[in-house]
Structures are given as structure tokens and as C-alpha cells.
Amino acid sequence: MSSGWLTKIKNVASYALIIAVGLGLGLGAKQGWQWYNQVPAYVDINTQAHFEKTNNKVVIYTTQWCPYCKKAKEYLTENNIAFTERDIEQGDAATDELYSSIDLAGVPKIVIGNRIINGFNQSLLATELTKHNLL
């Protein structure tokens, strides 16, 4: 091989390496950002205030337009579990204050015992309901 071809091969390999490293860094940064911003499946906090004006053992924070809120309510209803629904868009100041105390955005938020489940996670919901002798 002549030195001209060898130089071209080295240049192409160098560019390919630079592109591969750049793509790797970009994908790694994206995955890292998603990991950093992920919402936990649940939080354990003192939830006593959420149950003060209800006799039900499950409280769910919802909106009317949320499909996961509807699925969560359907699941609870199908399993004959009484719950208190609090619509965060149509609620009063007390509802706003309780929802804000959760300190995580989004709906549904399902409060059972001292645990708040983020979103509709049927297996986690079933586990919590079973743990509290509700399912």
C-alpha cells in the first residue's frame, strides 16, 4: 500500500472514531438526563392530612382528561374498593394544598396508608391494596 492510501484510511478511521465517541456521549447524556428526571413509582410520607375528611382508606388525585386516572378509578371500582376522588382542577383550596404537599407533579396520585403511588401502576396498586387488606 502506498502512503497516500494509508493516510486516507487513517483519516476515515479518525473521523469514524470521532463520530462514534460523539454519538456515545450524546446517547449517554440523554440516558443520564432521563435517569436524573425519573419520577419514583411511589413515595412514603406522612399522609394523615389526606384522610382527615374521609372514611375511605384510598384517596386518588385526578383530572377529568387523564386516561390513567380513569383506568385507576375503573380498577378500584371493579375491585369494590371505596375511594375518595379529588379533582385537582376543580377542587377547592384544601384539595390544592393537599395535592401540593405531595411535591410531585402529575396525576393520578393514589394515597394508601403512608404511601403515595405516582401514576397508574396496577401491580404496585394491587400490592399496596393487598398489604392494607383492601384487595
Query: In angstroms, rounded to a whole number, what is the distance separating the alpha carbons of residues 125 and 121?
Result: 6
Query: In angstroms, rounded to a whole number, what is the distance separating the alpha carbons of residues 96 and 90?
Result: 9
The CA-based angle 61-35-46, given to 5 degrees, is 35
Per-residue model confidence (pLDDT) at position 135: 82
pLDDT tens for 77-106 read: 999 999 999 999 987 888 888 888 888 888
Per-residue model confidence (pLDDT) at position 1: 54
pLDDT tens for 23-60 read: 888 888 788 777 776 667 788 888 898 888 889 999 99
Amino acid at 31: Q
Asked if 125 contacts 119 with a C-beta cutoff of 8 angstroms, the reply is: no
CATH architecture of the domain formed by 42-131: 3-Layer(aba) Sandwich (3.40)
pTM value > 0.85:
no
Domain boundaries, given as residue ranges, for the chain? 1-38, 42-131
Of 45, 50, 60, nearest to 114 (Cα)?
45
Helix axes 67-78, 122-131, angle to 10 degrees: 40
